[in-house]
Chains A and B, each alone.
Chain A
Amino acid sequence: MKEDNEKRKFVKKVKRKIPWIEHMIESYEDALDLNILDREISVRSRNINLCIYCRGGRNLCGKPLCPIILKLRSYLKVRDDIRKEILEGSSPPAVFVGRYGYPNVQVGPLIPPIMGNTEIYDHPERWINMSIEEIIDIRLQLVRGRFPVNVKKIDNSNKNLEATREVALSSKPVDAEVEFTKPPGGRILLDDEIQPMGLSAPISKVIVSSVKANPIIERVYYDYDLKASEALMKLFTNNIPVSSIQRVLSVGALGVGIERKMVPTRWSITAVDSTISRRLRDEIVKRNPLINEYRVYESNLLGNRFIVIMIPEKWQYEFIEVWYPGTAWNRDQNMIAIGGDYEPYWGRTTYAEIGGCYYAARLATTEYLEREGRQAATLIIREAYPEYILPLGVWVVREGVRKAYRGKPLKFDTLEEALNYASNRLKVKSIHWMGESKLLREIFKQKRITDYITRKP
């Protein structure tokens, strides 16, 4: 009886403070580090009740791995290396431009406590064969240095800003030495648009060396007459990875001289995806001949499945997401969440509500159709399964859809056959995703000549 009371008291206390619980730890070392008295670490969960009963051990949320434990393990691996006031390391290169308080935002380089070739740390194009654990591991080693900048009034005498810009423009890792005003702390950043990031600290001074500029990036940087969208296209057509283009844009290194402005990382990712895909769509894809059959492409990436249905019609595009219960963005325990956005031939006039993933998949699609010299109406369905335990950023969608296009499509003579096949490859019932699809609704309104030909018996 006494024990029961104790327990209830404990749970109440935990509910109020939502701190860490030692039962969630497997090894003794972990337990020591996670001692409930350690006020430096606290874990927040959106699903308080469930996590309290589960404590990472019972998988009550339906996820195969506890995301809280996962983050914690990665963090503990590097905790001692990064909680220092002076940090030396090679930036992959990577930078972060915050969005809170815009136009007064926090800006700075990302630096791990490691010297050497850290290129892969900020190169999502190369992450497709890694596990979620491995990605979290490398990303949480990156310390986000920050200092305040007014993006509308750039102070060019700011040495830290100059160093950050040099980092962003480099094509190879940059050795850096940073002095913080206090040891890195704060929250781990996980987001559906941006790749994960570790702790952060205010920078007092940053010194960089071994900057190696890419000649193409340098050329657009020094061209003060080149419009930002032209510069993006120039970088893209010269095979600069999208993640690098986005970095260069975010530090305000592109565009007509006086108009140059820093762009928060979150916005710069979507800006690059949407601008490049819009130009490819309008200048190339819409002038290409149609594909000659119905096609279905498929790929799987980190607990996500992508099914692409291409229809031999003029350009139309739709991206639908299906989130299973217990996935990063659907904490509901029973219901599947489904949503999407659509553009007719002439494109959208408003921002896609489902956000950056819509544009990331559109980039993968338009660059593929451009390469193939073809045009098609394209419907993409993404299913996120419980294995996708943490949001990793919009690159998952871009690379997942690219992976689908690298595979051979299955070809069909009729839309019905293509849709049937696609349905079999998806877990969600066809009535749900087909009912959600505006593109299919449009396609079905359009009758076929074959509807009017009486087939010979």
Chain B
Amino acid sequence: MILGACMFRFSLSEIKIWRSVVDAISEIIDEANFVATPEGLSLRAMDPSHVAMVEVELPKSFFDEYECEENINIGVNLDEFRKILRRGSAKDKLSLEVTSDRKLKIIFSNKAERSFSIPLLDIAGEEIASPSLEFDVYGRLASEVFEDAIKDASLISDYVKISADGDVLKISASGERGDVEVKLSEASGSLIELNVKEPSSSTYSLNYLEDLVKASRASEILVLEFSTDMPLKLSFELPNEGRITYYLAPRVE
């Protein structure tokens, strides 16, 4: 193998979308371990307290160009990675390369070609399985609507109750500071779709949820799934079959 030879490479003309993916991951972890396979790029990680999990799936089709011959782990410090990504402007094309001497090259090309090279991190940790769960509630809505409801709830409490019955999805909170209730339905136009197999209600920590909804910058549409006293699953759909999924464990009284 030639030292410095390229082992993995992708390019994206929209730097903004990659930045929002990295931002979304950095809400719950400091260091990320992407896994590149010939089929695409993915990541699965839990926050240090194991309360939240993030899954990123970016198939080959998500990228403008994608080259990967064998599986490779790409470990990066997200803080440093984000600082470098901020140096790119909207008109730049972004390319990422992994070379055989374990360096990650970040290339911004427009008129000039600017390239950063950082060492890859070896991130230890056992492989985490994805929770395989069946949910009683399925909702599709504008991510902005959900983000607003979460911001409302966090004015009042540290916890939010999400419940669904019939054709209404309710997001509510109560505490010493007062009460708040946000009602969403297809009829009012605030939901795109709601499917309730079983009336359900669950409580989640706003400390986490507030961070997770920041990922809504990456996507306009959000799919929300949950069951009584079970995790909340939030999926943000990205263009070209990309997806960011969060799982948040409930709070059970």
A interface residues (Cβ-Cβ under 8 A, vs B): 289-293, 311-314, 344-346, 349, 445-456
**Of B11-19, B56-64, B101-109, B243-251, the one with at least 4 CB within 8 A of chain A:** B243-251
Chain A hits for B53, CB < 8 A: 449
B111 touches A (CB below 8 Å): no
CB distance from A302 to the nearest CB of B (A): 34
Q: Please name the residue on chain A nearest to B205 by beta carbon.
A: A446
Closest to A448 in B: B50
Contact B158 A291 (CB under 8 A): no
Q: Of A291, A445, A451, which contacts B48 at CB under 8 A?
A: A291
Q: Does B70 interact with chain A (Cβ within 8 Å)?
A: no
Does B230 have its Cβ within 8 Å of any Cβ on chain A? yes
- Could you tell me if B131 and A445 are in contact, using CB atoms closer than 8 angstroms? no
Confirm or deny: B68 has a beta carbon within 8 angstroms of a beta carbon on chain A.
no
Q: Which residues of A contact B131 (CB under 8 A)?
A: 449, 452-453
Q: Judging by beta carbons under 8 Å apart, are A290 and B49 in contact?
A: yes
Q: Given A344-B158, A447-B252, A453-B128, verify A314-B52 contact (CB < 8 Å).
A: no
Q: How far is the CA of A313 from the CA of B30 in the complex (A)?
A: 14
Asked whether B89 is an interface residue with its Cβ less than 8 Å from the other chain, the reply is no
Contacts of B112 in A (CB 8 A): none
User: Smallest distance from the beta carbon of B252 to chain A beta carbons, Å?
Assistant: 6
Chain B residues within an 8 Å CB radius of A289: 30
Q: Are A292 and B30 interface neighbours, CB within 8 A?
A: yes
Contact assessment for A450 and B158 in the assembled complex, using a CB-CB cutoff below 8 Å: no
CB <8 Å contact, A449 and B249: yes
User: Which are the 9 A-B pairs with shortest beta-carbon distances?
Assistant: A312-B48, A447-B249, A448-B50, A452-B131, A312-B49, A449-B53, A314-B207, A313-B49, A292-B48
Complex Cα distance, B128 from A314, in Å, reads 23
Task: Find chain A residues with CB under 8 A from B231 CB.
Answer: 447, 449, 452
Are B48 and A448 interface neighbours, CB within 8 A? no
Instruction: Tell me, rounded to whole Å, the shortest Cβ–Cβ distance linking A414 to chain B.
Output: 8
Decide: A446 near B51, CB < 8 A? Known: A344-B158, A452-B249. Answer: yes
**Contact assessment for A446 and B158 in the assembled complex, using a CB-CB cutoff below 8 Å:** no
Tell me how many residue pairs across A and B have CB atoms closer than 8 Å. 65
The winner among A292, A344, A446, A454 for most chain B CB atoms within 10 A is A446
B133 at the interface (CB under 8 A from A): yes
- The complex places the Cα of A256 from the Cα of B51 at a distance, in Å, of 46
CB distance from A447 to the nearest CB of B (A): 4
Give B253's nearest chain A residue, CB to CB: A445
B2 CB within 8 Å of chain A: no
From DSSP, what is the main secondary structure of chain B's interface residues? loop
B50 and A449: CB pair below 8 A?
yes
B46 to chain A, nearest CB (A): 6
Write the chain B residue with the least CB distance to A455. B129
Are the C-beta atoms of A449 and B247 separated by less than 8 Å?
yes
Q: List 19 A-B contacts (CB under 8 A).
A: A291-B48, A312-B48, A313-B51, A314-B207, A345-B158, A445-B253, A446-B249, A447-B231, A447-B249, A447-B252, A448-B49, A449-B53, A450-B50, A452-B230, A452-B231, A452-B247, A452-B249, A453-B131, A454-B129
Report yes or no: A448 in contact with B249, Cβ–Cβ below 8 A.
Answer: yes
> Which residues of B (20-73) have their CB < 8 Å from a CB of A?
30, 46-53
Most buried by B among A344, A346, A448, A454: A448
Chain B residues with CB below 8 A from A449, complex form:
46, 50-53, 131, 231, 247-249
Chain B residues in 8 Å Cβ range of A346? 158
Chain B residues with Cβ below 8 Å from A292 are 30, 48
| B residues in contact (CB < 8 Å) with A | 30, 46-53, 128-133, 158, 176, 205, 207, 230-231, 247-253
Quote the shortest CB–CB distance from B221 to chain A (angstroms): 24
Residues of B with C-beta under 8 A to A312: 47-49
Distance A345 CA – B159 CA, assembled complex (angstroms): 11
A349-B176, A452-B133, A452-B231 known; 16 new pairs, CB 8 Å cut-off, are A289-B30, A312-B47, A345-B158, A445-B252, A446-B205, A446-B249, A447-B251, A448-B50, A448-B51, A449-B247, A451-B249, A452-B131, A452-B249, A453-B130, A453-B131, A454-B129
Q: How far is the CA of A451 from the CA of B247 in the complex (A)?
A: 12
A449 to B45, CA, bound (A): 11
Docked complex Cα distance between A454 and B133 (Å): 10
**Alpha-carbon distance between A345 and B206 when the two chains are bound, in angstroms:** 11
**A290 — which chain B residues lie within 8 A by C-beta?**
47-49
CB distance from A449 to the nearest CB of B (A): 5
Q: Are B49 and A447 neighbours in the complex by a CB distance under 8 Å?
A: no
CB-nearest residue of chain B to A451: B249
Q: How far is the CB of B229 from chain A (nearest CB, A)?
A: 8
- Complex Cα distance, B50 from A290, in Å, reads 12
Residues in chain B near residue A456, CB distance under 8 A = 129
Q: Which residues of A contact B50 (CB under 8 A)?
A: 448-450
Residue from A289, A293, A453 whose CB has the most chain B CB atoms within 10 Å: A453
Chain B min CB distance to A114 (Å): 53
> Do residues A445 and B247 form an inter-chain contact, with CB atoms below 8 A?
no
Closest to A414 in B: B50
A447 and B49 alpha carbons, distance in the complex (Å): 10
Q: How far is the CA of A392 from the CA of B205 in the complex (A)?
A: 41
Task: Tell me the minimal C-beta distance from A288 to chain B in angstroms.
Answer: 11
The residue of chain A having its C-beta at the shortest distance from the C-beta of B176 within the complex is: A349
**Assembly CA distance A450 to B46 (angstroms):** 9
Name the residue in B46, B51, B133, B247 with the highest tally of chain A Cβ atoms < 10 Å from its Cβ: B51
User: A450: which B residues are within 8 A, CB to CB?
Assistant: 46, 50
With a cutoff of 8 Å between Cβ atoms, the chain B residues found around residue A446 in the complex are: 51, 205, 249, 251
**B246 CB, min distance to chain A CBs, angstroms:** 10
A311 to chain B, nearest CB (A): 7
Q: Do residues A447 and B247 form an inter-chain contact, with CB atoms below 8 A?
A: no
